[in-house]
Amino acid sequence: MHNKIIAIVGGGQAAAMAAVALRQQGFDGEIHLFSNEPHLPYERPPLSKAMLLDDAPQLQPVLNATWWQENTVHLHLNVTIQTLGRQTHQLALADGQGYPWDQLLIATGAAARPLPLLDKLGDRCFTLRHANDATRLRDALLPGKSMVIVGAGTIGLELAASATQRGCRVTVVEQAPTVMGRNAPAPVRDYLLARHQQAGVQIRLNSTIEHVESGELLTLTLQNGETITADAVIYGIGIVANDALARDAGLETANGIIVDTACTTSDPAIFAAGDVALTHQPDGSLARVESWENANIQAQVAAAAMLNLPLPEKTPGWFWTDQYQDNLQFIGEMQGDSWLVRGDADAQKAIWFNLQDGVIVGAVTLNQGREIRLLRKWIQAKKKPPVAALVDEAILLKSI
């Protein structure tokens, strides 16, 4: 029998870390990774920050170039896969080559959800998902230029901060009544709104763009009749999963590849991880977690499932955002009405705690990232910290 072959389709965080997990968990067969980008798998979070702000920006590879050779993982970069070959177990590439596989991991990520009203603006309209997007956007973020950013989620606010730091005049347009409404609690949303306004960003909430005219400057008309002029527009309004290959192969999809808790698709030989994956929840719903950490975790889960090993323990969800000089880290449950604060957000040093029946279920740190490890332990242990001590900065958290 031939040596077992695992193919990984995708070139991002989940794809790269799945290769790592397979080797770490003892797989000694063939691993082939296929990416439609020319670069080694690279970190995506810096695209909205360091790649726009550094004097000489460089892509940050997920793994050193030597790792791939040392661990005998075959890289196929800048290639296009036409079909997964679900029946034949053979990938078909656009150049006519075919590659056999025994198990397959799809980690193709997602694309920016299109906004046709703005896409028609051509090279004065930007989204940010890949290295080439960052390079193109960096060239547009020139001092004195006016930028409109559509969407006040995490990526929109990071771009607003980066554009402002580059000397641009920035207006953010958001149809919701708040910023970062999907994943930040109310006190953190209030802090971020004020932080951007203090930096000079104009924020239009409860607003949508209804009409665009292209001249020397772009003229954007909001639904309330207000007009905004800009040199360029950037939007980030969600994602569309890159699930076409899976859909064409007859796998179960719904703007994402539907998987179980072991990252297994509707075909037991095919797995999916990262932004392209939608996981069945106990209540029957489907959930996608768009974070760097989730890509790493699902890579480990998929690798373990492929090798029929125990799955890693589930941990509280964690993600971060860097805006201006602030680092905010989010861990655990963000939904809740009972948030307490330790420290002073106005002094840019605080921790917000989410308590439910006295149990800590979530937290957000503002420039206090060193506390995340302890907070993770508390959440996992369902700790009931005394409230008075929790909010008293004179008492060390680790002593509570």
110-112 and 125-126 strand pairing: unpaired
| Residue of 320, 321, 319, 326 lying closest to 194 (CA atoms) | 326
What is the per-residue pLDDT across 242-295, written as a single tens digit (0 to 9) for each? 999 999 999 999 999 999 999 999 999 999 999 999 999 989 899 999 999 999
Q: Crossing angle, helix 154-165 and helix 186-198, to 10 degrees?
A: 20
The answer to whether 354 and 338 have CB atoms below 8 angstroms apart is yes
Q: Domains in the chain, start-ordered, CATH in brackets?
A: 5-111+239-306 (3.50.50.60), 114-235 (3.50.50.60), 325-399 (3.30.390.30)
In percent, the amount of the chain with pLDDT more than 70 equals 100
Residue with tokens 């069945």: 280
Residue with the two structure tokens 């890579």? 299
Helix (H) or strand (E) holding 390: helix 387-390
Q: What is the pLDDT of residues 365-396, one digit of tens each?
A: 999 999 999 999 999 999 999 999 999 999 99
Q: How many CB atoms lie within 10 A of CB 373?
A: 11
Structure tokens at 98: 């075919």
pTM of the full predicted structure?
0.95
Asked if 173 and 222 touch (Cβ cutoff 8 Å), the reply is yes
Cβ-proximal residues to 272 (8 Å cutoff; 6+ apart), any chain: 105, 106, 107, 246, 257, 259, 263, 265, 302
Nearest partner of 288 among 248, 319, 258, 332, judged by Cα: 258
Q: pLDDT-based confidence at 2, cuts 50/70/90? A: low
